[in-house]
Amino acid sequence: MKIRVGFGFDVHRLVEGRELWLGGIRLEHELGLLGHSDADVLIHAICDALLGAANMRDIGYHFPDTAGEFKNIDSKILLARTVDLIAEKGWRVGNIDATVCAERPKLKARIPEMQEVLAHVMGVEADDVSIKATTTEKLGFTGREEGISAYATVLIEKD
């Protein structure tokens, strides 16, 4: 079996008038993430990590923010398409280890739901999707609640 690892990162600004989507689920919050799609930073980081592991460039290359077809798109669709793209090269998802960095909202109670949703989209077990949440202790743009960032490391496999 051949394996590869990939790393992904994404960040979006928090603004009024947008829904907050993280890990494929909608969270109640007074601010949402600004972006061409639904701006789900966790899914975008995972997509970048998967594409990087398969040596297939990045999310912006495959799903450009200049394309109208991706305007306000549900990022779960982008994740499913990413899994299909790597499968075309013979790769499948092994596991995901991701971290969301946000002061608010607190995410701990919603992580199991995110794991289930993302696992379903990628066709893996929920146990193969690790999601952690942290803050920056009030430091930087995240600490000032100006945005949310996410990091993802993935392992992909090929027979």
28-40 per-position pLDDT tens digit: 999 999 999 999 9
pLDDT for 141:
95
Which residues are documented as binding site?
Answer: 10-12, 36-37, 44, 58-60, 134-137, 141, 144
Tens digit of pLDDT for each residue in 107-133?
A: 999 999 999 999 999 999 999 999 999
CA distances from 105 to 86, 134, 158 (A): 32, 11, 37
pLDDT at 140 over 90: yes
Q: Where residue 100 falls among pLDDT bands split at 50, 70, 90?
A: very high
Contact (Cβ atoms closer than 8 angstroms) between residue 14 and residue 148:
yes
Range of the domain at 28: 2-158
Nearest 10 degrees: CA dihedral of 121, 80, 122, 106? -60
Q: In total, how many domains does the chain have?
A: 1
pLDDT for 67:
85
The set of residues, in sequence order, having a beta carbon less than 8 Å from that of 33 and lying 6+ positions away, is 12, 13, 14, 15, 18, 20, 21, 39, 40, 41, 147, 148
DSSP 19: -
pLDDT for 65:
87
Give the domain CATH number at 57: 3.30.1330.50
Which residues are documented as binding site for a divalent metal cation?
Answer: 10, 12, 44
Question: Quick one: CA dihedral 107, 110, 111, 114, positive or negative?
Answer: negative
pTM of the model: 0.97
Q: How far apart are CA 153 and CA 147, in angstroms?
A: 21
